[in-house]
Amino acid sequence: VEKDLRGRRALITGASSGIGRKTAEEFAARGADVAVASRREDVLKELAETLENEADIEALAVEMDVTDETQVARGVSSIVDAFGGLDIVVNNAGIGCGGPITQVSTEEYRSVMSVNVDGMFFVTRETMPHLLDSEGALLFVGSTSGRYPRPDYPIYAASKWWTRGFALSIAGQAGEDGVAVTLINPGTTRTDFGSSFRASNTEKYDAGEALDPKDVAETIAFAAKQEAPTTISELAVTMRDSL
Ligand code: NDP
């Protein structure tokens, strides 16, 4: 792998599993220092240790529930203290919910909105000053569900339509000051996604029936290395036969 992210300092949320985890591996392989953040600190510590052993980079495990603005603020300042700044932020942590709307509990609704919406807001607000300093890159993991109606999971789809609206608006706001903003919309990907409300995607789909998270991670890395004045504003990663 070409070390095309050598020396970049990255934060990835939701890095303990799935797309976030593969993105951390991909960034490390390309030479970036990575802060891996989520709620499960034990998993993150193991991941950070593996990344440091496999690549000549620095890795930092950061316990950060993105729904808690205090934890986000504390986490971001610990990363900036350790790395001396931030060049890449991947807003990836996200969860789903589905089923007939009459059966969606208020608790489920609030938890999806607090991770997928509040979380992306808190992480963006907290990291933006550092990205402005470095003229860095801010990446959002949206979804093809953020572009099309999804009758099977309206709350999740709506949260990803929010992500798209937010990301593309922030692109205009921060772009003037040199921050590159990219929205990446993966199609169905074989991860633990879905396990909170149905069988996980890994259980539902065999290899080859849905995207491999590594494919999504490579796309995120491709977007992360773009240099001024070019920005890839939006990318869809899908299986050839589906949206
Ligand atoms: P996973 O379930 O494998 O990973 C979700 C990650 O989010 C975990 O690392 C989890 O870590 C973290 N997370 C959940 N809640 C919180 C929280 N409150 N604070 C911090 N981290 C949290 O799913 P994916 O990798 O598939 O999902 C990643 C992103 O990709 C999501 O935004 C999802 O919507 C999006 N996506 C997924 C698709 C798919 O088909 N899989 C398709 C399109 C988009 P922990 O439990 O340690 O906190």
**Cβ-proximal residues to 172 (8 Å cutoff; 6+ apart), any chain:** none
The predicted structure's pLDDT at residue 243: 57
**Is 148 annotated as catalytic?**
no
Domain 9-237 is classified in which CATH homologous superfamily? NAD(P)-binding Rossmann-like Domain (3.40.50.720)
- What spacing in Å lies between the alpha carbon of 95 and ligand 1's midpoint? 5
Question: Across all residues in the chain, what is the average pLDDT?
Answer: 97
User: For residues 138 and 224, what is the distance between their CA atoms, to the nearest angstrom?
Assistant: 8
Q: Is residue 23 lining ligand 1, measured as CB closer than 6 Å?
A: no
Count Cα neighbours of 160 within 13 Å in the Cβ-side half-sphere: 25
Residue type for position 210: A
Residue whose CA lies nearest to ligand 1 atom number 3: 18
Percentage of the chain beyond pLDDT 90 is: 95
Q: Which pLDDT tens digit goes with each residue over 159-175? A: 999 999 999 999 999 99
The predicted structure's pLDDT at residue 49: 98
**Cβ-proximal residues to 229 (8 Å cutoff; 6+ apart), any chain:** none
Quick one: pLDDT band at residue 46, thresholds 50, 70, 90? very high
Complex ipTM value: 0.99
Catalytic residue among 109, 148, 153, 156: 156
Quick one: pLDDT band at residue 227, thresholds 50, 70, 90? confident
Domain residue ranges in the chain: 9-237
Over residues 106-122, the mean pLDDT reads 98
Instruction: Map 42-68 to HEC letters.
Output: HHHHHHHHHHHHHCCCCEEEEECCCCC
Which of 12, 22, 38 is the pocket-test mutation for ligand 1 (most atoms within 8 Å of CB)?
38
Is the pLDDT at 92 greater than 90, yes or no? yes
Is the Cα dihedral 151, 157, 162, 165 positive or negative? negative
